[in-house]
Amino acid sequence: MELTAGISRIERIFPASQARGDVRDLILLQPGWADALGLAKGLAEKGWRAHISMDTQEAIRCLRSNHFYVGIALLDANFSEEMQSQLSEVISESGFTEWIAIVDPGSLTSIEHAAFLSTFFFDFHTTPVDIRRLTYSLGHAYGAAKLNEASRGEFRLSVNQRFGLIGSSKAMSQVYDSIQKISRSDEPVIITGETGTGKELIARAIHGLSSRAEKPFIPVSCGAIPETLVQSEFFGHNKGAFTGAVEERIGHFEAAEGGTVYLDEIENLSPLGQVSLLRFLQEKELTPLGSKKPRTVDVRIIASAGPNLTEAVAAGVIREDLFYRLNVLHIDVPPLRERDTDAAEIAEYFVDRFNQGKRRNAKRLSKKAISAILEYSWPGNVRELMGCVNRAAVLSTGRLITEGDLGLSRPVRFSGRTLREVKAQAVEQAVMSALAESKSITSAARRLGVSRVTLYRLMEKHSITVPGAEHAAG
Please report, for residues 7, 35, 40, 74, 328, the alpha-carbon distance to residue 105 in angstroms, rounded to integers and kept in the order given: 29, 16, 21, 13, 37
The model carries a pTM of 0.59
Please report, for residues 126, 311, 394, 397, the alpha-carbon distance to residue 391 in angstroms, rounded to integers and kept in the order given: 64, 36, 5, 12
- Comparing CA positions, the residue from 347, 365, 351 lying closest to residue 402 is 365
Beta-strand pair 70-74/98-103: parallel
Domain ranges of the chain: 3-146, 170-241+248-332, 337-406, 419-461
What is the DSSP secondary structure assignment for residue 267, as one 8-state letter?
Answer: G
Cα four-point dihedral sign 380, 386, 391, 397: positive
The partner residues of 105 in beta bridges, in order of sequence, read none
- Comparing CA positions, the residue from 22, 55, 59, 53 lying closest to residue 40 is 53
CATH architecture observed for domain 170-241+248-332: 3-Layer(aba) Sandwich (3.40)
Peptide bond into 128 cis (omega under 30): yes
- Comparing CA positions, the residue from 159, 163, 153, 167 lying closest to residue 342 is 167
pLDDT of 470: 44
pLDDT of 7: 37
pLDDT of 430: 83
Q: Which CATH superfamily is domain 3-146 in?
A: Response regulator (3.40.50.2300)
What is the maximal distance between C-alpha atoms in the chain? Answer: 101
pLDDT of 72: 92
Full DSSP string of 176-224: HHHHHHHTT--S-EEEE--TTS-HHHHHHHHHHTSTTTTS-EEEEEGGG
Same fold, 3-146 and 170-241+248-332: yes
Angle of CA points 108, 114, 117, to nearest 5°: 115
Segments in 284-328 forming alpha helices (H): 309-314, 320-326
Identify the CATH class of 337-406: mainly alpha
pLDDT of 454: 80
Per-residue pLDDT 10s for the chain (474 aa) are 333 333 333 333 343 344 444 678 888 887 655 577 888 888 888 889 888 888 888 888 888 778 888 999 888 777 777 778 788 778 766 767 889 999 888 777 777 778 788 778 889 998 888 999 999 999 998 988 887 777 666 666 667 767 778 888 889 988 998 898 899 889 999 999 999 999 999 999 999 989 999 999 999 999 888 888 888 889 887 876 676 666 778 889 999 999 999 999 999 999 999 999 999 999 888 888 878 888 899 999 999 999 988 888 998 999 999 999 999 999 999 999 999 889 999 999 899 888 886 666 678 898 889 999 999 999 999 999 999 999 999 988 878 898 999 988 765 455 556 667 777 777 888 888 888 878 788 888 878 877 777 888 888 888 887 655 444 445
User: For the chain, how big is the Rg over CA atoms in Å?
Assistant: 32
Burial category of 420 from C-beta neighbours within 10 Å (exposed 0-12, middle 13-18, buried 19 and up): exposed
